Structures are given as structure tokens and as C-alpha cells.
Amino acid sequence: MALEDAKTQIDHAFTRPEARGLSFENAFAGATSFLRRRYTKDLSGVDIAVTGIPFDQAVTNRPGCRFGPRAVREASTLQPYDPPYGWGYSPLEAFDVVDYGDMAFDYAKVSDVPSAIEAHARGILEAGSAMLTLGGDHFVTLPLLRAHAARHGPLGLIQFDAHSDSWVDDDPDRIDHGTFVYKAVREGLIDPARSVAVGIRTENPDTMGVTILDAPDVHRTGPDAIAKRIREVAGQGPCYLTFDIDALDPAFAPGTGTPVWGGLTSGQAAIVLREIAGLDIVGGDVVEVSPQYDTTGATAVAGAHVAMEILCLWGWTRRRG
């Protein structure tokens, strides 16, 4: 069936007849929506919308993750042929998933971007859809948390990252990808007692009460033990999962703005993500993919797989059967 479909399927981003189902379009051809989902702004009956926020003007080092959403979409074309390995269910067949496209904004009015992101997210959530976001730098997570907390209340944060992003910043007008955790705790968007950061390997003494499972912890104790600890900390309430691609070692994800050695392997990350299934993941994002620093495309491939894992985690507690 797949071979026959591959002969006729093209531009599923626009032509696919329904929101559910696998796609057998040639990976090297056609319009590149995320996982070949249909591009649409109509969220009627949609379970989860994928959207891009190509903003990278809050970075401290190398810019370029404005190109992340486009690269992750292109890399994802290898994935929609089969259900994701090891999950035992197919989120693309179980749920109505669409690609909502990217957020529009005026790149020359940076101060307007935070409220624009929050409004963009609120519009999706108020339509009754969950959302999965492709960044962009890690600043975008702060307004996304504002929108999700407005809907679900204070959230447990599950953060994969090389940096804690909890550096002190009491200036509400600053837009910085290294301070979103600090501001999220101060604003009451996340509950630090239910929050955990995985893969940290840069110094910052003030973690705002967030549990730190640093990269050496992962290497020494193994991904299964890390996943167990994440489940213990996060508990039963709603959680938001944010994955900075620099949580992975530069050997696996060189295409990012602030790479740090000693990070997670892609295999470790995959096990941890799958072993936290059952947490109530209400939303998530993949950020800091800067494809121009990676001639192999491996970073975008990793980002696409992480995004699929977040989709699987969101669907795990909502699937039938």
C-alpha cells in the first residue's frame, strides 16, 4: 500500500484529505509541512496544532535559530511513513494533527514579540487545540508558558537544556533566552517544586528551586533512573516540556547557538522521553535549532524526532484503548 501511495501522493501539506493518517509522499519531494500534516488556520476539531516561532533576537551568542522551524519541518519528512518506533501506538492516526504554520511578526519591533507570541498561543489554545511549538530561541518559551498557565494553572516544567536559564533578570522589558525560567518562577507560571532541568552543564548557583539532573547525572545513573526521578518530581499535575537542542552533546547536535560539551546522547534523550510517558504533558516546544552550523542536518533531524516524541507524550494520556 505504501508503494502505491508513494506513486500518487504529493504536496500532502495542502492535498491530504484528512487530518489523521500516515503519509507516504516521497521524503525528498513536495511541500514540507511538519510530518506532512495539512497546513491550515482552521482549528475546528483539531486535537493538536504544530506552529513555528522563527524568532532568534534574544540569543547571547550565535543567531540563526529563526531558521529552525523550516529545517525541522524538512527533516520530519522521513518520519510519517510508520508509527514512531517503540511507542505501541500511532499519534498521527489517533489524533487530528495539523500544521498551523509560523507566527507572523515584525522583526524590527522586538519589544512587541513577547505579547505577539502569547496572543498567538492563546488563540490556538482557546480554539480547543493543544499546541506543539518549533522555535526559535529559548526566550519564546516564556510567553508560551504564560498562555498555557492561563489555561491550566501553574505548570510543572520539564526542561532539557545545557543551561538552567534561571539567571537573575528583574527587568520586565529585557528579552533574553537565558532568563525565562527565572521570570516564569517569579510570575508563578511554573511550580519549581514540580519542575526539573535535565542535562545542565553550566554554572548557575540560583536554580529557583528547580530540581537539577545534570549531564553527569545522566551519564552516571543512566536514562531510566533519570526518567524515574523526573516522574517523581513532576507528579500528577499538568506539565510543559521544553527541549533546548543544546541539551544534546555537540557531537549529536552541533547546529545550535551555545553548544557545550559533555551533553546527552540522542539515544539517552530518546529513552528518557519515552520513559516519562504518563505525565500530563499539556504542551511543549523544541528550540535553538540553528541549521546553518550543521552541514550534516543532524541537528534538525534530532529536533524533528524530539518534536515527534513530545507529540507521543501528549497523546499517551489522551489515546483511546
**pLDDT digits over 200-257, tens only?**
999 998 999 999 999 999 999 999 999 999 999 999 999 999 999 999 999 999 999 9
Mean pLDDT for all residues in the chain: 96
Q: Is 214 known to sit in a ligand binding site?
A: no
When pLDDT is averaged across residues 18-28 and rounded to a whole number, the result is 95
| 294 annotated as a binding-site residue | no
Average pLDDT over residues 79-104: 97
Please tell me whether residue 184 adopts helix, strand or coil conformation: helix
Structure-block grid coordinates of residue 30: 513536495
CA–CA dist 69, 67 (Å, integer): 6
pLDDT above 80 for 276:
yes
pLDDT score, position 101:
98
What was the pLDDT predicted at 6? 83
Distance CA 213, CA 65 (A): 26
170 assigned to a ligand binding site: no
The predicted structure's pLDDT at residue 1: 52
Q: How many CB atoms lie within 10 A of CB 42?
A: 10
- Average pLDDT on 83-109 reads 97
Q: Tell me: pLDDT of 24 over 60.
A: yes
- The pLDDT value recorded for residue 3 is 62
In the structure, what pLDDT confidence band is assigned to residue 86 with cuts at 50, 70 and 90? very high
Residue 163 labelled as part of a binding site: yes
Task: Report which of 180, 105, 197 is spatially closest to residue 137, judged by C-alpha positions.
Answer: 180
174-199 tens-digit pLDDT? 999 999 999 999 999 999 999 999 99
Question: Average pLDDT, stretch 306-311?
Answer: 98
Q: Does domain 2-316 have CATH number 3.30.365.10?
A: no
Q: What is the pLDDT of residue 84?
A: 97
244 annotated as ligand-binding: yes
Helix or strand or coil: residue 118?
A: helix
Percent of the chain with pLDDT over 90: 96
The per-residue pLDDT for range 2-11, each reduced to its tens digit, is 766 888 999 9
210-248: b or e for each residue (b if 16 or more CB lie within 10 Å)? bbebbbebbeeeebeebbebbbebbeeebbbbbbbbbbb
**Stretch 110-114: mean pLDDT:** 97
- How many other C-beta atoms lie within 10 A of the C-beta of residue 205? 6
The kind and range of the H/E element at 241 are strand 238-244
Q: What is the pLDDT of residue 5?
A: 81
Residue 115 phi/psi, 5-degree rounding, is -70, -30
